[in-house]
Structure 1
Amino acid sequence: MDPRYHFTESTQFEIWNVTRRDTGVGSDNTSITLDVQYAPSVKMEEDPVYVDVGETADLFCVADANPIIDTDMFSWKWLGEGEMEEMVEQSQDEATGQLTIQRATRAHAGHYQCTADNNIAPPANVAVQLVVRFKPELQKGAQWNKVASRGDGTRTAEVVCQGEGIPRLHFSWAKNGMPIDHTPQVPVEDS
């Protein structure tokens, strides 16, 4: 028998250094149910979470805790600047907290923190990143449309194209509809 288990002089059964593994039902003329209560630990179901602009993003935070509090065990916090954006809704089902973001915008992208608290200290926290994908957007305006350089062959002209989008942008160039090859040309020596 484990030395942590013993009967006291008053015939009470004691368990020293109780852990989660001690949960269960025992019997010896009497059935005993041991309910070990402990503070939560949490993890994200998925991290990062990807969503397209305009779609619904669902972030799920899963807790291991005893007891599971039926309501308000989970809370969410936006880790960016300012307040959490509109169209954000929190809910809970058993040991899973959910943050739902309707019609996600680029402003919703960033880190969110889930906290689980079952009134046994300490509460547990975990962060998740929300990535909002959007189509490429190129910089426009007069400064992006024209480049001037002397045509005497002594100067170079630099044409710049800037844009943003998620996932990461890959640029390609064409002149008069023909792709431009960016690989450096290595001179061939005649023998």
Structure 2
Amino acid sequence: MLYLGTSGWPSEGDWAGLSPRQRRRRYFERFNSIELTQTYRRVPDWDVVGRWRAYAPRGFVYSWVAPRYLTYRPGGAERRGLRRFLRRHKRLGRARGGVRFAVPTGTDPAAFGEWLALLAELELPGDYAFEVEEKLGELLEPYGWTAVNRPGAWQYTLDRPPLPNLPGYAYFSSLAAALRHQREVTAERG
């Protein structure tokens, strides 16, 4: 199954004047997923995660962006921060989508390899995808994780149509692009 939506809650066009509740209701009618970008700035409180879970209609999932404080180097503080973030994500239950890790350019391959081992040791399974430089991509393979927007099932944050018949997650940066894609798919299925 392809989970399709936008990266962040849309507030453009005729959606701009809607209340958050109206915007959410309209969004749930049109899409089966969203990438919550606010998780990059702050790990949400338990009660916020609980509300998101309660709001989600059947079959809807929330994907998250990993927090900016991650260093992608192993260590005690990194382990605690990563565990805290992923446990909150796990609380979404049936509404849990993927997690996109935006690994900074210039990350040391050896440290990143050790960090991936730390992530695996946490035993908090999930759909994980990584925005990484090409040289780091091969380090993901032993864990079954993949780099985004490369051949495979992860098509994160894009403004072009996702590949047909490929499962995973596709998020558009604009509402207009996501709606245009939906119209095209509907017309093709006609």
User: Shorter-chain TM-score: which interval?
Assistant: under 0.3
Q: Which protein has the bigger strand share?
A: 1
Q: Which protein has the bigger helix share?
A: 2
Give the structure with higher Rg (CA): 1
TM-score computed with the length of structure 2 as normaliser: 0.20
TM-score computed with the length of structure 1 as normaliser: 0.20
